[in-house]
Amino acid sequence: MKRQLPKARELAPLMQFRRPELDRKKRRLDAALTIEDLRRIAKRRTPKAAFDYTDGAAEEELSLARARQAFSDIEFHPAILRDVSTVDTTRKVLGGPSALPFGIAPTGFTRMMQTEGEIAGAHAAARAGIPFALSTMGTASIEDVRTANPNGRNWFQLYMWTDRDRSMQLVSRAAAAGFDTLLVTVDVPVAGARLRDKRNGMTIPPQLTVRTVLDAAWRPHWWFDFLTTEPLAFASLDRWSGTVAELLDSMFDPTVTFADLAWIKDQWPGKLVVKGIQTVEDAKAVTDLGVDGIVLSNHGGRQLDRAPVPFHLLPKVATEVGADTEVLLDTGIMSGADIVAAIALGARFTLVGRAYLYGLMAGGEAGVNRAITILSEQIERTMRLLGVHTLDELTPAHVTQMARFAPRPIDAL
């Protein structure tokens, strides 16, 4: 083999040095290529009690693990030689537009995760052109979210309280603020057993223990933000000094029935969606009431452990009621490919909760922007690789749900 010394002019094109990024936050977020990357950053930067509240689920956390495994167990079936030079990720959902086939799910105690909280999420949603959902347990007011996202789509998530008048006051405020969709959550008659929170002594505000102080020593930035900004409180509630589970048990009404749902529907002028559907029979029942949409959800695995996996339910529910109501899905979504698979199997739209919160904890509003960008890029890339250029071209033929768990026949027991 003939050898020669390289010439400087030949080496120059191969020796392009990246300009150093001096902004530490931007450098940190740019290095995150997946939602799991954001999760790892969030874990480093957030005290254990706050991180575990987001990251954890109920009891043995089997429901959450199975939901994520269900997305891992899919097989895609791409079509080749299609023109995918451009792709369209827009979606019409519940009477309005969304630039992407997902919105930000309602989350509680959000400013506990990072002090920018719901306002960061609302700003990011406005920038991306996607819906933002505010929780009854949110730490920003209905009116403040409207101010943060004045021209975008805001949704309000309702827990029905024992005090019905107080519940409907919130509904009236959301309507007056121009929120176009009401998500009525129906899977919390009592609080799930969130064992991480109990072990961490997670309260609002947080209780300082020796372990808390030692944990904080490694995360001074979080405590500086927490102690130098507005005290944490629920925008729709009075102050509370017990555990999360005690708060939920004291507030939420275990007597709520289908009749109450019909009553709420009569009070709300916009679109009504029932969140927390976990069986085909219940999907049919609420559809018969004339709701505009349902969310297949097991509350992110945070209520009944070993609950049905929403993604597994999706094909049958979409077949049974998809022509009569819009089917949305949450729980377990960690990538744009997960979202594409859900759309292919019949979901009209999806909601992301933890994925958004990981971004928030990793870098505030900039972190939420990064989470949305990651999901958006993954959606576009997956669509191109599948050979589709619009979401409507996605069909069940593009996805197979691989069977890891299957029910045993009754006669085999």
Over its C-alpha atoms, the chain yields an Rg (Å, rounded) of: 23
Q: Which are the contacts of 60, defined by CB distance < 8 A and separation ≥ 6?
A: 305
Four-CA torsion 260, 266, 271, 276, nearest 10 degrees:
0
Stated as kind and residue range, the H or E segment containing 244 is helix 244-251
312 is catalytic: no
Contact between 113 and 363 (Cβ < 8 Å) = no
* CA gap 261, 173 in Å, rounded: 19
Q: For the chain, first and last CA: distance in Å? A: 72
In sequence order, what are the residues at sequence separation of 6 or more whose Cβ sits closer than 8 angstroms to the Cβ of residue 308? 278, 279, 298
Tokens of 132: 């933002």
CB neighbour burial string for 75-108, b if at least 16 within 10 angstroms, e if fewer: eeeeeeeeebeebebebebbeeebebbbbbbbbb
Structure tokens, 94: 């519940």
Note whether 273 and 182 are within 8 A (CB).
Answer: yes
Q: Encoding tokens for residue 301?
A: 């695995």
The H or E element containing residue 155 is: strand 154-158
Residue among 77, 123, 299, 398 flagged as catalytic: 299
Cβ(77)–Cβ(399) under 8 Å?
yes
Residue 351 identity (one-letter amino acid): L
State the Cα–Cα distance between residues 133 and 102, nearest whole angstrom: 11
Residues with a catalytic annotation lie at 299
